[in-house]
Chain A
Amino acid sequence: AAGVIQSPRHLIKEKRETATLKCYPIPRHDTVYWYQQGPGQDPQFLISFYEKMQSDKGSIPDRFSAQQFSDYHSELNMSSLELGDSALYFCASSAQERDWLAGSRAVEDTQYFGPGTRLTVL
């Protein structure tokens, strides 16, 4: 089965440089999520997009921006990189489906993760 694709898998940048991470969701998935995982930490949510609109926003620095394109792929742009930005960046995707068994408000969207992009800032 097709999985989430992330590129590049590894990226090395200098401080104050910019980086662009790309995510290609599973076919027919309409929602993408970005997470940041520092060494020895759990993944922290950054931002998500549903049908190309921002749907949830976490602790994403103002130096970072993201968008989802018409083909549903997403890009995370990171500027003025700092040493503390070194981390594993995951993209996940899901397909929004009403969970009618739970009631009309509930939304089922199990998230499937890509392999991650390891960003190192020197």
Chain B
Amino acid sequence: AQTVTQSQPEMSVQEAETVTLSCTYDTSESDYYLFWYKQPPSRQMILVIRQEAYKQQNATENRFSVNFQKAAKSFSLKISDSQLGDAAMYFCAYRSGETSGSRLTFGEGTQLTVNP
């Protein structure tokens, strides 16, 4: 079974600065996808960014980028120019790419605080 680990229960960053959230995973599959979801106080689960395992290029979405190290099974999220609205719980998630309708397996989450 696949596992996802987020070793930082809490992180904080000053507004306008950069922060990196860590995530590691364990799998024996070759086809898979990795995601970061954000859950603000509203509890809505919002997709932040997606990475395909077969792609060597790291995904970017505006101020959000990932550092995907496939051999090390590491998938960190970098948030640049942090904004107050970035404060939320961030979940790293894994999904198998080998079957239809397969589940997301989440890490424990990292609570990000943005200080003004």
Complex interface bits, A68-79 against B, C-beta within 8 A gives 1, otherwise 0? 000000000000
Residue among B33, B45, B102, B104 with the most chain A CB within 10 A? B45
The verdict on B44 contacting chain A, using a C-beta distance below 8 Å, is yes
Chain A binding surface, main DSSP class = strand
Interface size range on A against B:
20 to 34
Residues of A within 8 A of B97 (CB): 99, 102, 105-108
Interface size on B, residues (CB 8 A): 29
- Which of the candidate stretches B12-20, B46-54, B72-80 sits at the interface with the other chain? B46-54
* Given A102-B52, A106-B31, CB of A56 within 8 Å of CB of B99: yes
How many A-B pairs have beta carbons closer than 8 Å: the answer is 91
Residue among A42, A88, A106 with the most chain B CB within 10 A? A42
Inter-chain contact B100/A31, CB cutoff 8 Å? yes
A32: nearest chain-B partner, CB-CB: B101
How far, in angstroms, from A102 to B35 measured CA to CA in the complex? 17
The verdict on A101 contacting chain B, using a C-beta distance below 8 Å, is yes
21 contacts between A and B (CB under 8 A): A33-B101, A37-B43, A42-B91, A42-B106, A42-B107, A45-B105, A48-B102, A49-B101, A56-B103, A99-B52, A99-B97, A101-B52, A102-B31, A103-B54, A106-B98, A107-B97, A108-B52, A108-B97, A110-B33, A113-B46, A116-B43
- The 6 tightest CB contacts between A and B, nearest first, are A55-B101, A113-B45, A45-B103, A50-B101, A42-B106, A106-B97
Residue positions of A touching B, CB distance < 8 A: 31, 33, 35, 37, 42-43, 45, 48-50, 55-56, 58, 88, 90, 92, 94, 96, 99, 101-103, 105-113, 115-116, 118
